A and B are shown apart, each in its own frame.
Chain A
Amino acid sequence: AQSVTQLGSHVSVSEGALVLLRCNYSSSVPPYLFWYVQYPNQGLQLLLKYTSAATLVKGINGFEAEFKKSETSFHLTKPSAHMSDAAEYFCAVSDFGDTGRRALTFGSGTRLQVQP
């Protein structure tokens, strides 16, 4: 089974500063990787996904992530944080088991705070 680790349960940045949220995965086969965002009292929304087409993936709201196989990482970045970016962010990896079933495995989440 595949797994994903998000380093840092809380990240705080100033408005306008760089956002960097870390995600590392373990996989014996090429994975599919996703970043989702969860605003308070809402469900998760897809930010971006990596499916082997390009290592640098651009998503919504100015976010992007780079797949680095050598580092088994898929870190999420945004050049300039906005107050509206404050939310919980989840990294996720696909897991296609021997029985052919599919399950998306989520990391433990990183709460992003943006200070004015």
Chain B
Amino acid sequence: DTAVSQTPKYLVTQMGNDKSIKCEQNLGHDTMYWYKQDSKKFLKIMFSYNNKELIINETVPNRFSPKSPDKAHLNLHINSLELGDSAVYFCASSRTRDSNSPLHFGNGTRLTVT
């Protein structure tokens, strides 16, 4: 009965590789997000989709490409991985895109680039 699930939980890869992280929510929410949490626990928004439409696209290298096949799924593909991409990536969803709609987070994907 997991609400927001993301896979894999851990991802270890070498520089230059391409990898994907998948996210699915079964809450019926309209809006989904990708956040990046660095080693100091700082959380930064990367992307947001509302009903499959990209609504937030922060200053993120274009090596990062989100894809939302339907409103229950938001995947993140990363090309040419770099050491600095090592972080924990969190998927989240909210019922609507309204500012007072709380976020529901997945358990994160810890990406380590060697």
Contacts and interface: CB of A to CB of B under 8 A. Distances in A.
Interface of A: 32, 34, 36, 38, 41-46, 49, 51, 88, 90, 94-96, 101-106, 108-109
The interface residues of chain B, by DSSP majority, are classed as loop
B48 interface: yes
25 contacts: A32-B99, A32-B100, A36-B103, A41-B107, A41-B108, A43-B90, A43-B106, A43-B108, A44-B43, A44-B90, A46-B102, A46-B104, A49-B102, A51-B100, A88-B41, A90-B43, A94-B100, A101-B55, A101-B56, A102-B48, A102-B56, A104-B103, A106-B44, A109-B41, A109-B43
Nearest to B50: A102
A102 to B, nearest CB: 5
Contact of A42 (B44, B45, B55, B108): B108
B72 interface: no
Interface in B54-80: 55-56, 58
Contacts of A46: 102-104
The interface residues of chain A, by DSSP majority, are classed as strand
Contacts of B56: 101-103
Interface of B: 4, 40-45, 48, 55-56, 58, 90, 92, 97-100, 102-108
B2 to A, nearest CB: 11
Contact of B42 (A44, A49, A96, A106): A106
Nearest to B103: A104
Nearest to B90: A43
Top-4 shortest CB links A-B: A43-B105, A94-B99, A106-B43, A51-B100
Given A88-B41, A94-B100, A109-B42, A43 B92 contact: yes
Given A43-B90, A102-B56, A104-B45, A49 B106 contact: no
Given A103-B45, A106-B44, 15 more contacts: A42-B107, A42-B108, A43-B106, A44-B105, A90-B43, A94-B99, A96-B99, A102-B55, A102-B56, A102-B97, A102-B99, A103-B58, A104-B45, A104-B103, A106-B42
